[in-house]
Amino acid sequence: MADALRNILLGDATFHKDHGMERGHDPTELEFLVFLTTQSPSAIESEAMRLAAQADLLLIKLQELSKQSHAAIASSAVCHTTLCHSLPALACRTADLQNAVSRLEQDTISFQISNSPSRLGEGSARLESRQYAILLLRNVERLVDLMELPTLLSSALSAAPPNFSSALDIYSYTRRLLSIYPSSSLVAGVAQQADQTILRMASELVFALKTPSLKLAGSIRLVGWLRRILPDLESSLLGQEQSREAVLASLFLLSRLDTLVKTLDALEPLEILARHEREIFLDGGDHTTMPSVPLTLPTPPLQAWSGCQHTERYLKRYIEIFREHSFNILSMYRGIFSSIPSVQKTAITSTCTGIDVSDIDGGLSSEGLSSPHLGLTSLPSYIYGMIFETLRFYLPVFQGQASRESIITQVLYCAGSLGRHGCDFSVLLADIGWTGNSNPTSDDRWAQLIKRHRIRSDRLQSIIGSTP
């Protein structure tokens, strides 16, 4: 029926001409005609309105789509207008590139022929320089890492707290590279910078050895780090007659003795007052003027300036600091330097028993802290000289028996503490005497006090030893 209807519509020449239809079989037309045959007359009458509505809807959608895409379409149109100029330029550049590739290929072949080992010969400087440049290019990352070693070493030392172990590992790696590549100027320069940094580290370690609150564990670590550094510094520090352990031992003793001296020097305000009391005692009269003391210290009232109480305070504090630091020096030395021959360790006992008090002062004036060969055998002579000189200077000030016995008892306890390491100097106290006092009774009383103290100490040791 749809075909018959189509034939009727196409058979009208006027309709055919007006609508520009051609005779043929269009599936869309047939589908629409089939749709019309299924509709009622009223639906067919409203079909024109439905088609008009759909046409309006399609127009609205086309307008929305054109509104969204007009910018891209306009830009594309502008770009397409430049194609007439861009395509010829691209073709020209492509031709230039082809010509350049051809020339590059020819130059490469020519370079390869002119620089071949067969033409230049083995050992040519030009060939070696090229090989060296190629080798540097291949190892550029490793070279950069090598040049960063001094920076890493400085960073390890600048950390808080300093990482000495990592710094020593980096330094050992640098020295190992120098031993493998001794002719490399780059490795030599890096090793030189590392040496300068490690010298700064060594000075920091020595400064840390002078810390007043240093304990055995910390001193063992510091000496261990110095022991790792010393083989690289031994050319400037060691002589043929010295071993590394002897140098470390002397360095440790000098550092700790320097700490002891500086700690005792901190008692200068009390020492000023004690010296003023000694001057009063020697003049045999009263001074109305006060000694010059630092402004940071409160000036004592005049009524409190009597007797030898400042001298007693100074001596007791001096002896306590001396006992504590001297005992720590000997204890840490014995705990750290266990590899020192036993002769050097046991020689200190003979030094304590065979030393003369007059020789102590001579040793102080000639050697002191500046001696580079200071060992444990010469340590007692120095520390004895320190305390004996102070005792000789201030003991004559004490006139009361109780004050004298208090000071000498504290000195004997100090000698007993050092006696645990074989440095008991109580036998030498009898030779000091009372400077400026020739009364033999005083000397006898001094000797009796020493004997009573030794008897009490022996009893106390026996009681402690018998306790289970």
pLDDT for 275-284, tens place per residue?
988 888 887 6
Q: Which helix (H) or strand (E) holds 236?
A: helix 216-237
- The reply to whether 438 and 360 lie within a common domain is yes
Highest mean pLDDT among 31-35, 264-268, 423-427, 450-454: 264-268
- The reply to whether 353 and 449 lie within a common domain is yes
Predicted local confidence at residue 442, as pLDDT: 56
Greater pLDDT, 68 or 453: 68
- The reply to whether 297 and 380 lie within a common domain is yes
pLDDT score of 16 more than 50: yes
How many CA atoms lie less than 13 Å away from 265 in the CB half-sphere? Answer: 6
Is residue 147 in some structural domain? yes
pLDDT score of 172 more than 50: yes
Is residue 373 in some structural domain? yes
Q: Is the pTM of this model over 0.85?
A: no
Is residue 124 in some structural domain? no
Predicted local confidence at residue 250, as pLDDT: 86
pLDDT score of 457 more than 90: no
Greater pLDDT, 57 or 160: 57
- The reply to whether 261 and 350 lie within a common domain is yes
Of 73, 91, 109, which residue constitutes the final position of a domain?
91
- The reply to whether 273 and 217 lie within a common domain is no
What is the domain range of residue 301? 256-466
Predicted local confidence at residue 260, as pLDDT: 93
- Distance between CA atoms of residues 203 and 207, nearest Å: 6
Any idea what DSSP says for residue 427? G
| Torsion sign, CA atoms 232, 235, 238, 240 | positive
Is residue 84 in some structural domain? yes
Percent of the chain residues topping a pLDDT of 70 = 72
Is residue 249 in some structural domain? no
Q: Alpha helix locations (H) across 46-139?
A: 47-114, 117-120, 125-138
- The reply to whether 219 and 271 lie within a common domain is no
Question: Structure tokens of 324?
Answer: 């504590």
Average pLDDT of the residues of the chain = 76
- The reply to whether 212 and 281 lie within a common domain is no
pLDDT score of 369 more than 50: no
- The reply to whether 141 and 83 lie within a common domain is no
Closest CA to 428 of 406, 445, 411: 411
- The reply to whether 311 and 338 lie within a common domain is yes
Is residue 246 in some structural domain? no
- Distance between CA atoms of residues 365 and 204, nearest Å: 29
